[in-house]
Every structure is written in structure tokens, then in C-alpha cells.
């Protein structure tokens, strides 16, 4: 599925320059990921006052203490999570919906969790408007619990940092599946967890990162849906 036509040639040129320089400079080389980043109009996922910074490789505020991750880290995490032809993806920390849109561009059926109700509702509406509504489902809930009724997932990407890898997310990985997330409180590292076809788990550290913390319902000030 493609996003709605990007009528702004200027934004399209800025997006291409970003992907072919900063994203590729970070080591992202999978052509599927590069095409997805080229296709998703990041300027539609940031607040209007930050639209002119949409194609600068930096995180941007979304409100409620949350941010949209910088494009190069989205590209890196997506590439790390890919293995074969993933069909079902879990996106923890919907935020603006940008990561979910990138996963949808890869052909995934995406289940996205956001604990802040206002962000979840806005992201769902935005994704529908941009043509991703049939591939992405957004739910207001605690991301650390995953979405067990739709597990197992071929890939799981987490955009906020727990203090340790949530066991529930590991359990929802399909054989051959990959989980990518930042882990830590004061020092954070990007971690890749792989479930081999045999069921054996492997884990490796990728690089130091900095993300907002993964919070529960009390900290978020919301009442997640229980459906």
C-alpha cells in the first residue's frame, strides 16, 4: 500500500536527500527499507510548527512528552527487525504513526499500541487519511503487554525504553521473528532479540541510543482499552 500522493516536489526532494545521505550513512542498506522511507511523507506525521524540520535527521516533539524518532534510527530499527518476508508486525509506541506507516509500506499487517489515548486516536485518523487504514490497527493499551490475541509476530519494534526486555513481547515472537528495542534507564542500548526457528533465543547489543521511557497506565495518565 502507498501513502497518498505527495503533491509537494520540495518535500519529496528533501525526503530523497535525507534517505540517500543520513539514513544510508547510518548503514541502512536494505532496499525495501529505503523504498519505504522514501514513500512515507514524514512531514504529515509531525506537528505543523515542525513541518519544515521533518526531513532533518532528528527527533521532533509530538506533545505529551513524546517524540517522533529520527528517520535514521527508524531505518536502522526497521532493517534490524526484518527477516525474510514479514507478514505481521507489532509496533509498540505508536506516537504519530510514522513507524507503523513504514512497516505498512513493507507489506506488513501492523498492530500498533499507544498508551496515550489522544495520540492513539490522532495516529489512527492520520494513518487512515494517508491510506494506511486497512493495514494498520491502533489500540490504546500498555505496550509492554503486547497484543497477544494477534500474536505471534514476525517482527516487533518498540519506540520507548523499558528497563529490561519485556517477557511478554519475547513470548509473542514467531519462530524466526525479531524484536528491536531500546533498553535501559540512565544508559540505554538498542537491543536485538532473535527467536530462531528452533525456538532458541539470541540477543545482542547494537549501539547506545536515547529514547523516552516506556511507561505504564499510571504514568501515562490514561485508561487503556482492555479489548
Q: Determine the Cα–Cα distance for residues 179 and 185; give it in Å rounded to an integer.
A: 19
In the block, residue with C-alpha cell 540505554: 188
List 85's β-bridge partners, or say none.
none
Q: Which residues contact 143 (CB under 8 A, 6 or more apart)?
A: 92, 93, 113, 114, 115, 158, 160, 214
Q: Are 83 and 69 in contact (CB under 8 A)?
A: no
Quick one: how far is CA 34 from the chain centroid? 15
Of the candidates 2, 69, 72, 96, the residue annotated as catalytic is 69
Cell of 183: 533498553
Cell of 7: 503533491
Active site residue 223: no
Catalytic (active-site) positions? 69
Amino acid at each position: 500500500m502507498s501513502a497518498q500522493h505527495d503533491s509537494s516536489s520540495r518535500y519529496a526532494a528533501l525526503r530523497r536527500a535525507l534517505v540517500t545521505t543520513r539514513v544510508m550513512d547510518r548503514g541502512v542498506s536494505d532496499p525495501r527499507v529505503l523504498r519505504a522511507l522514501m514513500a512515507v511523507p514524514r512531514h504529515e506525521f509531525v506537528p505543523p510548527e515542525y513541518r519544515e524540520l521533518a526531513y532533518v535527521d532528528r527527533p521532533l516533539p509530538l506533545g505529551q512528552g513524546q517524540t517522533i524518532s529520527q528517520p535514521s534510527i527508524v531505518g536502522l530499527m526497521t532493517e534490524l527487525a526484518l527477516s525474510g518476508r514479514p507478514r505481521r508486525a507489532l509496533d509498540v509506541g505508536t506516537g504519530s504513526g510514522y513507524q507503523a506507516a513504514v512497516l505498512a509500506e513493507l507489506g506488513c499487517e501492523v498492530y500498533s499500541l499507544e498508551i496515550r489515548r489522544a495520540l492513539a486516536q490522532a495516529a489512527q485518523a492520520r494513518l487512515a487519511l494517508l491510506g494506511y487504514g486497512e493495514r494498520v490497527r491502533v489500540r490504546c493499551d500498555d505496550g509492554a503487554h503486547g497484543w497477544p490475541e494477534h500474536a505471534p509476530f514476525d517482527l516487533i519494534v518498540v519506540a520507548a525504553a523499558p528497563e529490561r526486555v519485556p517477557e511478554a513481547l519475547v513470548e509473542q515472537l514467531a519462530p524466526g521473528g525479531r524484536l528491536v528495542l531500546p533498553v535501559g534507564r540512565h544508559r540505554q542500548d538498542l537491543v536485538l532479540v532473535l527467536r530462531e526457528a528452533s525456538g532458541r533465543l539470541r540477543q545482542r547489543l547494537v549501539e547506545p541510543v536515547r529514547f523516552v521511557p516506556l511507561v505504564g497506565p499510571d504514568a501515562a495518565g490514561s485508561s487503556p482499552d482492555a479489548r
